[in-house]
Amino acid sequence: MKLIEVETYEQLSEKTSELIINKIKNDPHTKLGLATGSTPLGAYKRLIADHTKNGTSYEHVITVNLDEYVGLAESHSSSYRYYMNEELFNHINIKRENAHVPDGTAEDLDEECKRYEALIDNLGGIDLQLLGIGQNGHIGFNEPGTPFDSVTHVVELTENTRRVNGRFFKDIDEVPTRAITMGIASILKSKEIVLLISGKQKAEALHRLLHEEISEQFPASALKSHPNFTVIYDKAALEGV
Ligand code: PGA
């Protein structure tokens, strides 16, 4: 596990965007694993600014997102596909058919999970997977107790996750009760993993990641067994203030 400590959220975003841009410059056919949530927003803004100013091209880049709510269509403003369109895809020259998000409206969700996992494998694996972390250590929607050998699957969201994510909805009752998520094993197949941890509300999660044993009760701890795993965190996450 490699640790990169920065002072501020802005620096964390800068560092993250640099890593991604360098990756794409070295290999224009990079397969990027992407995450939603608040944490990657600053990095996405910088990717857009760099694309606009310096012309970094996403023409051959393929992206694979971690998760999606069950039942929310692309047009729903709280779906993760909508978030990705708004926060990144609409502003760079990625081909829509190369930007993958699980389909939460699929009629057969188990089939959709199988299709998604096969897609990752057929791509030859993700080159760089970006991750955020939940206060309880979840990665993607893999909540505590998720087996480390899990692949893409449907999950029942915990009440806590629904409450925390309620900020992206008009009302907590609107938050779906299920989601499709890449599993822990799907994530661990990536060649490189970068986990972003920002803010005092994540201090306990960072502390547990750094100091606790690997355990299925703390999903992010699985990443510690990965040979190319980097954590970028800011002072607020380290100090809890
Ligand atoms: P956040 O979400 O970036 O909005 O904090 C991360 C997560 O819950 O995985």
pLDDT tens, residue by residue, 184-216: 999 999 999 999 999 999 999 999 999 999 999
What pLDDT score was predicted for residue 54? 98
Which ligand 1 atom is at minimum distance from the Cα of 198?
Answer: 5
What pLDDT score was predicted for residue 124? 95
Average pLDDT rounded to a whole number, residues 28-37: 98
What pLDDT score was predicted for residue 241? 82
Ligand 1 in contact with 137 (CB < 6 A)?
A: no
* 139 CA from centroid of ligand 1 (Å): 8
pLDDT higher than threshold 90 for residue 87: yes
What pLDDT score was predicted for residue 7? 98
Average pLDDT, the chain: 97
Average pLDDT rounded to a whole number, residues 33-60: 98
Ligand 1 in contact with 219 (CB < 6 A)?
A: no
Nearest of 108, 131, 136 to residue 188 by alpha carbon: 131
* 205 CA from centroid of ligand 1 (Å): 11
Q: Are 199 and 127 in contact (CB under 8 A)?
A: no
Q: Looking at residue 214, what DSSP letter applies?
A: P
Average pLDDT rounded to a whole number, residues 88-117: 98
pLDDT higher than threshold 90 for residue 106: yes
Please name the fold of domain 2-238.
Answer: Rossmann fold (3.40.50)
* Residue to substitute in 39, 130, 197 for testing ligand 1 pocket (most ligand atoms within 8 angstroms of CB): 39
Measured in degrees and rounded to the nearest 5, phi and psi for residue 84 equal -65, -40
Average pLDDT rounded to a whole number, residues 141-156: 97
- How do beta strands 153-156 and 178-181 pair? antiparallel
Q: Catalytic site residues?
A: 67, 136, 138, 143
